[in-house]
Structure 1
Amino acid sequence: MKHDEREPSAPDPVDVRLGARLAELRGERGWSLGELAERSGVSRSTLSRAERAETSPTASLLNRLCAVYGRTMSQLLSEVEAEPEPVVRAADQPVWEDRAAGFVRRSVSPPHGGLRGELVEGRLAAGADIAYDRPPVAGLEQHIWVLEGALTVTDRDTDHHLGAGDCLRLRVWGPTRFRCPGPGAVRYALAVVRP
């Protein structure tokens, strides 16, 4: 739900836990909001609002923070959930949504501290366009398998146009961008392997 649609006194519980975890990570490093702003390229006010759950963080914001903290987005999101079980039922798979960007992310196999891989389902609305200025972890291996629709993935300066059934394998070293050209939404599986 968009921040402006919620009552100010009723922030989303996931945003509250996520904000607390972000504040904890910053505190563990002894950084001020100003230091984190310099490292991440995100304004102090935006960081403060995210930590206090006054706003729901966007995918791009979380990606920048993950890069600073050396985590994948799934790792960060899993840290605000309970320890994952070996079998994760569909109804129990954590879902995170960036409504403003038209992006829904389901952690199909939430990450575990002893494992390097994870599986994510992504859904982008027609016309959605999400840009990441850096990988959350340099050299991250990704396998992007389009299940329905069409997806354009830009890895640095190279565009990859994918249709249903196509799979792109890459190691992420620089900026990436995910776009759904339409006419309908796209649904894809993303296998992520930490280096």
Structure 2
Amino acid sequence: MRDSERAEPGSIAARLAARLGELRTGRGWSLDELSRRSGVSRSTLSRLERGELSPTAALLGTLCTVYGRTMSRLLMEVEAEAPQLVPAARQSVWRDEASGFVRRSVSPPHTGLRAEVVEGTLDAGAAIAYESAPVPGVEQHVWVLEGTVEITVDGAVHTVGSGDCLRFLLHGPSHFRCPGPEQVRYVLVVVLP
């Protein structure tokens, strides 16, 4: 899009511009405040929110950091209306063969929805570690369906067995380990602050 053009109404570019404005005003920030927090000029931010300027990946990355969200979440928030039903066949599955971790996005993040639901499985002996919270203060609930998982949060190790649920606010690193002898299958509910 050329500098003087506006994003086509209803297009992804227009929805992204509107969402960026919603994120700023939802926090009660002026353009000047967002400029101070992001290091991006007020005029650039204003043009982004009016849909007069297409953001670069680097600029979107900067704004995502300020707003405490991943770029993939921001982009999902501007996709078409979220379906109420997410059929099993359309739930994305990601496998990390090296660690023995499988992640199914049962209810993916979307605009207007603060929670997402993930099914995770870890092979016996497998472990995954996260260096920090994706969003500080994110609420997580881990409900074990089968097996046992050891979850370390804030330096405390919790052994969570079949039927048990561990819930916490995440501010720092976390670690999931399946002690075995069988794999663990669990539901993770993530709720943004």
For residue 174 of structure 2, what is the aligned residue in structure 1?
A: 176
TM-score, normalization by structure 2: 0.63
Query: Retained in 2: the 8 A contact 1:25–1:69?
Result: no
1:29 positional shift: 4.5
For residue 88 of structure 1, what is the aligned residue in structure 2?
A: 86
Relative distance call for 1:28 and 1:93 in structure 2 (3 A) is same
> Which SS does the other structure have where 2:98 is aligned?
helix
For residue 60 of structure 2, what is the aligned residue in structure 1?
A: 28
For residue 141 of structure 2, what is the aligned residue in structure 1?
A: 143
Query: Retained in 2: the 8 A contact 1:67–1:135?
Result: no
1:96 positional shift: 1.3
Query: Retained in 2: the 8 A contact 1:109–1:119?
Result: yes
Query: Retained in 1: the 8 A contact 2:148–2:184?
Result: yes
CA distance in 2, matches of 1:106, 1:163: 20
Structure number with greater Rg is: 2
Relative distance call for 1:132 and 1:194 in structure 2 (3 A) is same
Query: Retained in 2: the 8 A contact 1:101–1:128?
Result: yes
Relative distance call for 1:123 and 1:72 in structure 2 (3 A) is farther
1:102-132 deviation per Cα after TM superposition (whole angstroms, max 9, x unaligned):
1111111111111101111011111111111
Structure 1: tracts of 5 or more residues without a match: 1-23, 31-65
Structure 2: tracts of 5 or more residues without a match: 1-55
Query: Retained in 2: the 8 A contact 1:124–1:180?
Result: yes
Query: Retained in 2: the 8 A contact 1:121–1:188?
Result: yes
TM-score, normalization by structure 1: 0.62
1:154 positional shift: 0.1
1:34-89 deviation per Cα after TM superposition (whole angstroms, max 9, x unaligned):
xxxxxxxxxxxxxxxxxxxxxxxxxxxxxxxx97883269837957x876421001
For residue 116 of structure 1, what is the aligned residue in structure 2?
A: 114
Residues 23-172 of structure 1: pairs in structure 2 closer than 5 A: 25-29=57-61, 70-71=68-69, 75=73, 78=76, 84-172=82-170
CA distance in 1, matches of 2:149, 2:133: 19
% same residue: 60
How many pairs were matched up? 138
Query: Retained in 2: the 8 A contact 1:120–1:191?
Result: yes
